[in-house]
Amino acid sequence: MHRGFKIFGALILIAYLALHLQQHVNFPRLKQLKGAFTETSYPEFSWEAWFKGNWQDQFEKYQKDHLGYRPNLTRLHHQIHYSFFDEIFHNDIHFGKNKNLMGGEYLEAYRGENFIGDSAIEARAQALGILHQKMQDSNKLFLVVLAPDKAYSRPQDFNLPPEVTKPNNSESWRSALKKVGIPFLDFRSHFAEMEDTSSYPLFPKTGIHWSIWGMHYAMDSIAGFIEANSNIAMPRRVLDGVRWSTDYPAIETDMEDALNLWLELPKEELAYPNYHMEGDSTKPKVLIISDSFFYEMYSSGLANQYFDAPFFWYYNLRALKYDWLEAPANPNHYKMDSIVEAHDVILMMSASSNLKDFPWAFDSRVKKELIP
C-alpha cells in the first residue's frame, strides 16, 4: 500500500510538472485552437485590486486560458460531447442534414431576420450609382457580385422553407441594383439553380465558402462577364481535367476547424480543376472590395491569373496589393479620383450574411469625394 501511494504521488507530480512545462515553456508545442478568442492577459498587480478580490478573479481567468495542454483538452472535451451526445460548442455553427455545416448568420439572412429595409439599401445603391456613372463616363466597368451561400442553395438541409417568404437584404439589393442600372452577377441564385445539375460539388459540407471548384467557376464567370460588358479581352480558363480528392485545403474546412474537434469529420470527394490559361496577355487593372469570399481568390493567386496585380480592400478596412507589400494598408489613404483613374474595373462582392453592412461605408466615400 505504501509503495502504491508513492507511485500515485509520483504520477501526480509528473502530471503537475508536465502541465506547467507546457504552459510556461510551450513544450511540447501544440496545435492552437481555431476561431476568435479573447484570452485574458496576466493581471497587473496592485494592493487595491488584491484587497477587492479583482486581481484574484483576473488571475483565475488567466490561469484557465493558459492552462497547460488546454488546446488538446478542449478538443477532447468537444469530441466526447460530439461523438456521444451530438453536441457542438459553437454558438454560430449549425449541423444540417448529412452533417452539412452552416453559419447562423446565413440562416438569419435567408429568413430576413437581419433585413435593414428597402429604403436603406436603395440609398446605398444610389450612392454606388454615382461611381458606376463615373466609371462608365471613362469607358470603365463597375460591377457588383452577390456571392452564393448553402442556405439558399440547399434550404432543405437546414429546415428552411423552400422559398424565401420574407423580405431580405439579397432580394432588396437585386432590386436596387436593377433600379439604378448597376451591372451585377448573382451567384446566389445561379448556384442554387446549378445545385441539382452540377457534376461537381459547389460547396464543401465542412466550410462556409464555395468549394475550390465553385470558386474557379465563379472567377472565370466574372472574367466572362467583364469581357461581355466592356472592351476588355480577358484571359480565360481552359479545363484540362478534374482531380477528385478528400484532402481539403483550409478554406474548405473553415467551419469544421472552428468546432475544435479531436477527430476530423468524414469527407466526401471534392473536385479540383486542372487547367491552363489562354487569351489576351494584357490583363486589366482591378480594384476589388469584398468580404472573405474573395480572400481565397486573392491569396491563392487565382485572381492574379485574370487581373494585373489585383488591389483588394478587405471589408473596405484593409488594403492588400498583390505585387506591392508596402502599399498603405488603410483604404482611406487612396483618393477616389485616383482609384477611378488607375483601374479598368472596380468590383464589389458580398455574401448574403454581410449585405446588411455592404458596402461597408464605401458609399459614403463615393458621395463625399465624387459629387461635385
Three-state SS letters, 203-231: CCCCCCCCCHHHHHHHHHHHHHHHHHCCC
CA distance 183 to 222: 12
Torsion of CA 249, 279, 320, 38, to 10 degrees: -20
Amino acid 216: pLDDT? 97
Q: Are 312 and 345 in contact (CB under 8 A)?
A: no
Among all chains, which residue has been given the C-alpha cell 480558363? 237
| Pick from 16-20, 77-81, 353-357: least confident | 16-20
Among all chains, which residue has been given the C-alpha cell 460547396? 203
Amino acid 42: pLDDT? 64
Q: Are strands 286-290 and 345-350 parallel, antiparallel or unpaired?
A: parallel
Amino acid 1: pLDDT? 52
Q: Are 202 and 187 in contact (CB under 8 A)?
A: no
Among all chains, which residue has been given the C-alpha cell 448573382? 186
What is the value of pTM for the model shown? 0.84
CA distance 66 to 61: 9
CA distance 300 to 8: 53
DSSP 157: G
Torsion of CA 343, 189, 251, 205, to 10 degrees: 180
CA distance 279 to 236: 6
| Three cell numbers written together for 83 | 461523438
Amino acid 20: pLDDT? 55
Distances (CA, A) of 20 to 13, 32, 81, 279, 284: 11, 17, 27, 60, 56
CA distance 119 to 175: 11
Provide the percentage of residues in the chain whose pLDDT is more than 70: 81
In this model, does residue 277 exceed pLDDT 70? yes
Name the pLDDT band for 84 (thresholds 50, 70, 90). confident
Amino acid 123: pLDDT? 97
